[in-house]
Structure 1
Amino acid sequence: MEISILPISSIHKDQLIRAGYTSLESLVVVSPYRLAQELNILQEEALHIVKEALKYSGAGGVQTGRSFFKGCQSAWEMLEEEKILNYISTGCEDFDDILGGGISCKEVTEVGGVPGIGKTQLGIQLAINVQVPLAYGGLGGKAVYIDTEGSFMPERAYQVAEACIMDTLDKFAFHKDFEICKEVMQPKFFLSNIIYFRICSYTEQISVINNLHKFLEERKDVKVVIIDSITFHFRRDFKDMLRRTRVLADMSQN
């Protein structure tokens, strides 16, 4: 949950974001004394902020019994989940084999490398490949593409969609549902299922990531979220490395 919901002054909210506290979860674990030092405010003010964070996050009460252990599961359940885990193909069989089947769903995959190595190309490819119908071995889902650098090109996405469609139809030309799936296998249909966010600042990025779960609750058919890239605005706008690390860690947890 975002700190924007807290009934505190806008000045304190801005100080919290600049100090790296972008979510209630990051606030409830810090001491008022430390918070007062980091924000350069009175300890009474810091105590008020922490109390409000505890209240709104629901961490102020005592959890007992089953509610506390709601997220637990057995090792057998974990193994069964791994067996039915879905993968998004990268479009390259050798690359999929290296990754153990492709890009794994329900996990975070970080792709790094120097400029021009193909990170954006891979992101666009995954946003297209995740839409391949179930009958053709895909996931039949939609994609969320969060673009912080302005590097997403719809023209390139159209080309990738055309190539993906051609390759898929050639491979499954004799499938019993070929004619039905052929109707939806159109570039326009693929591009319509890429939900695009253009991010222009680190505060905007924090807000989108913190509220993404609400957005996805209404769109159960989204099967992949691509952020290209997660560190762009933080390389330019953050001088304090400790604060930057904290903000990125919170974002990774979300």
Structure 2
Amino acid sequence: MRIFNHWRQFFPLSIIYHYSTFIYFFLNKSNFSQQISTLILQKKCREMQSQREISTFPLPASYQSKLHLAGYVVAGDLKDVKPSELSKDLEVSHEESLEILNCVNGLSSDGNSTNAMKSGRTMTALELLQEEQNLQSIVTFSEKLDSMLGGGVPLCKITEFCGAPGIGKTQMCMQLAVDVQIPECFGGVEGEAVYIDTEGSFLAERLADIAEVTVKHCQRLDTTGEVSSVFTTERVLSGVHYFRCRDYVELLATIHLLTDFIKDNPKVKLVIIDSIAFHFRHDFEDLGLRTRLLTTVAQNLIQIANQYKLAIVLTNQMTTRVSNQTDMSSNLIPALGESWAHVSTIRIILYWEDKQRMALLYKSPDHKEDTVPFQITMGGIRDMVSSNVEKMSEETGENVAGPSAKRQKVT
């Protein structure tokens, strides 16, 4: 203030105000240079974005063809187009045209930018590697299965379990819903789970059985006794947030509201949808609409997994594909088609082989294809034991012996 009053004696107040902005940037020239660099980068990104071909955007094939026929080739062609105009050109609804414009312009449904480059913040490959190495995994209590996955079900990724009825998909989901709550001192994530049930196969009693055995296992490892008083069966059951979706509308609404729910429950580290295919296989005659809705679901799940650093676990049904029309030979493949196969980061096929449950790592970006056996016991998912071993675990009460344990089905 003294300096300001001193300069007022020699210069008019208007001149001081006129050059104040220049003086500020001169004294903060490093920040000013950084701002200029950011603005230049943003301008180049906008120019590159405007020249991006429409065919490279994650739009359904029906939209792609209509845009091409209407003369929209690059993103810049849609820059100043209004939703009403696009709706008329493509002969689609106003909501569909708005969805197309939001996708091309990199906007979310609330109008906020989703383009990471617009923030001027990029990550190097080294930073990404370090971030992935620091991510935790959710164990399955099957040592061979965890080893095949590189430590368990990873966070920030979508893992899909596919298989025929009765193979153990729901059992796997309930096991993960319990294991995600294992305390960090035991190598766990110490989070909570959201369980979205579309088939009605979720059983609270079965979840309580798995939780009780898991809690007893951790209590045996607790030498201090401090965790035993906190990590209880009741605490585990309270950490599973259950949603029952009876049709695809309820499923879409639940997924849409997941973001707000996770904000209110920041301990959630696992979202389970059992199963993703149930409503989309039975309630649809318009396959184009089904594809568009599944694309929206996939984008929402990927965004949730990356933004909140949590794991997404899906179960999928199997369908029959005829491979040869002459001899009518067929084989079982995961449902929802080839386009859905690109959604999951990791895909595991569960199947029977000689009365034995097997898990095939069918798709993984960083692990080779492999197959391991597993079994379902009263305590949940476990490794197979040799057929000549017959014993009862006194600590857990699990029957881990004999062929009867291998084919044990829990209802």
The TM-score with structure 1 as length reference comes to 0.75
Aligned to 2:111: 58
Cα displacement (A) at 1:67: 6.5
Query: For residues 1-254 of structure 1, what are the structure 2 equivalents within 5 Å?
Result: 31-33=86-88, 36-37=91-92, 46=94, 50=98, 57-58=110-111, 68-69=118-119, 72-170=122-220, 172-174=221-223, 178-254=224-300
Aligned-partner SS, 1:224: strand
Where does structure 2 lack aligned partners over 5 or more consecutive residues?
A: 1-61, 63-82, 301-411
Query: 1:196-231: per-residue Cα shift (whole Å, max 9, x none)?
Result: 101111011101101211111121110100000111
In structure 1, give the amino acid aligned to 2:266: K
Give the structure with the higher percent helix.
1
Structure-2 change in CA distance of 1:111 and 1:34 (3 Å):
farther
RMSD of the alignment, in Å? 3.0
Query: 1:66-102: per-residue Cα shift (whole Å, max 9, x none)?
Result: 8714563211110111110110001111100001110
Cα displacement (A) at 1:144: 0.5
Select the structure of larger CA radius of gyration.
Answer: 2
Among all aligned residue pairs of Structure 1 and Structure 2, give the percentage whose two residues are the same amino acid: 38
Q: Which has the higher contact order (CA 8 A, sep 6+)?
A: 1
Aligned-partner SS, 1:226: strand
> Conserved in 1, the CA contact under 8 Å of 2:192 and 2:269?
yes
Where does structure 1 lack aligned partners over 5 or more consecutive residues?
A: 1-18, 20-27, 40-45
Aligned to 2:341: none
Structure-2 change in CA distance of 1:116 and 1:35 (3 Å):
farther
- Paired residues, number: 214
> Conserved in 1, the CA contact under 8 Å of 2:195 and 2:272?
yes
Distance 2:289 2:95 in 1: 20
Give the structure with the higher percent strand.
2
In structure 1, give the amino acid aligned to 2:252: I
Structure-2 change in CA distance of 1:48 and 1:140 (3 Å):
closer
